[in-house]
Structure 1
Amino acid sequence: MSKRQSAKHKLDRRMGENIWGRPKSPVNKREYGPGQHGQRRKGKVSDYGIQLKAKQKLKGYYGEVTEKQFKRSYTDAAAMKGDTSQNLIGLLERRLDAIVYRAKFAPTVFAARQLVSHGHIRVNGVKCNIASRRCAPGDEITLGTKAQEMALVMEAQSLAERDIPEYVAIDGTAKATFTRVPTLDEVPYPVKMEPNLVVEFYSR
């Protein structure tokens, strides 16, 4: 399990965007970056800087996955047929913690990873504690009995700020099915993601 090294809201401010669409994001109040130099006037950003920001934003959105895991997703996407940027999004959305988050079993992707790592999630009836596991279309993801009574899970299911996408089918409050791998325009990102720039970053 990767460990988040900094407060997640600092990522919002560093990117200058509310990347998870959360109402408590400090970007809603302060659009400048964190730290004593956050309000400095920014100069022109290089192509490399633009690509790096796109990578950091996409990587951060999925819970600040490790660089090793993220680059492996890119490598796998590049080896697949079709558009690499679309393949990358598809692979990221197949992560178990991402599906748990999409199904509104957890209020944040960080909480979704914790649910998985603590053994509260089952895939096709079998307990799985690997957040980076890639699910296949048709896989059923269910909440364990204890998890169904957690305040965190009940909070997530009451959130009005995000909807469950069409590629995740819900059956009751504790079962979801990953129906298909989505395309970029189907993923409900609160901000614009640019996986094409991520591809350019890694293929330099």
Structure 2
Amino acid sequence: MTKRTAAKHKIDRRMGENIWGRPKSPLNKREYGPGQHGQRRKQKLSDFGTQLRAKQKLKGYYGDLTEKQFRKIYGEAERVKGDTGEMLIGLLERRLDAVVYRAKLVPTVFAARQFVNHGHVLVNGKAVNIASYRVKEGDIIEVRQKSKQLAIIAEAIALTERDVPDYLEVDNTKLTVKFVRTPGLGDVPYPVQMEPNLVVEFYAKN
């Protein structure tokens, strides 16, 4: 098992949910938590526990971001006029690795980060190798010419477990993606319920 696969499975088990909707998730076979006490009856979470869990789940979904990275993004969302939870989702979905993942150029968000870091992606014709790079509406993201034959791309495009959301326009022939608009929570095809409002409550109290 690769380190990235182990990380995905560990997060699923910790959250008690198949947060990416992957068919190979261990949660498809056993729904109890990890460790020798995992099958014990789950205790009701406190408000703090519920809010913390919502934050960990959202943070984990985007490749298990560090607390420092996630807190910085939340701080930006908080400073923008409007609903902080919606702004947070919009900022997370504008990350370049998230766009690459959503466009089905790679099979997982972990692979998306590596794909960007290894220099396989252009934004508006310029090479960008920073996974956290924030795309803007109208930006064109494409796979670099010499990377278009990578097997991982064909594997990802063939996946049936998820669809490309309508805030992206994808050309699978040219391997280009247009970031049409910044999505809100209701636009993002999460396989499980995300609750950014609870993330806002967590940071408001802690």
Is the shorter-chain TM-score for this pair beyond 0.5, marking a shared fold?
yes
Tell which deviates more after alignment, 185-194 or 7-16: 7-16
How many angstroms apart in 1 are the aligned matches of 2:17 and 2:188? 17
Hey, what does 2:203 align to over in structure 1? 202
Matches within 5 A, 1:3-82: 7-82=7-82
Hey, what does 1:154 align to over in structure 2? 154
State the shift of 1:160 in Å. 0.7
Hey, what does 2:114 align to over in structure 1? 114
- What do residues 170-204 of structure 1 show as CA deviations (whole Å, max 9, x unaligned)? 12431000010001000000000000000101111
How many angstroms apart in 2 are the aligned matches of 1:146 and 1:155? 17
8 Å contact kept, 1:147–1:153: no
Hey, what does 1:99 align to over in structure 2? 99
State the shift of 1:134 in Å. 0.7
Hey, what does 2:177 align to over in structure 1? 176
8 Å contact kept, 1:97–1:112: yes
How many angstroms apart in 2 are the aligned matches of 1:26 and 1:186? 27
How many angstroms apart in 1 are the aligned matches of 2:62 and 2:116? 14
State the shift of 1:35 in Å. 1.6
- What do residues 46-97 of structure 1 show as CA deviations (whole Å, max 9, x unaligned)? 1000000000000000000111110011100000010000000000000000
How many residues matched?
A: 202
Hey, what does 2:193 align to over in structure 1? 192
Percent of residue pairs bearing the same amino acid type: 66
State the shift of 1:145 in Å. 2.1
8 Å contact kept, 1:107–1:152: yes
Match for 1:188: what amino acid? P
8 Å contact kept, 1:12–1:27: yes
Match for 2:14: what amino acid? R
State the shift of 1:168 in Å. 0.5
Match for 1:194: what amino acid? E
How many angstroms apart in 2 are the aligned matches of 1:72 and 1:192? 23
3-state DSSP of counterpart to 1:141? strand
8 Å contact kept, 1:165–1:188: yes
State the shift of 1:133 in Å. 0.8
Match for 2:47: what amino acid? D
How many angstroms apart in 1 are the aligned matches of 2:195 and 2:147? 34
3-state DSSP of counterpart to 2:49? helix
How many angstroms apart in 2 are the aligned matches of 1:125 and 1:89? 26
How many angstroms apart in 2 are the aligned matches of 1:115 and 1:146? 13
Runs of 4+ aligned structure 1 residues displaced above 6 Å come to none
How many angstroms apart in 2 are the aligned matches of 1:154 and 1:147? 12
Match for 1:177: what amino acid? K
Match for 1:118: what amino acid? H
How many angstroms apart in 1 are the aligned matches of 2:140 and 2:19? 28
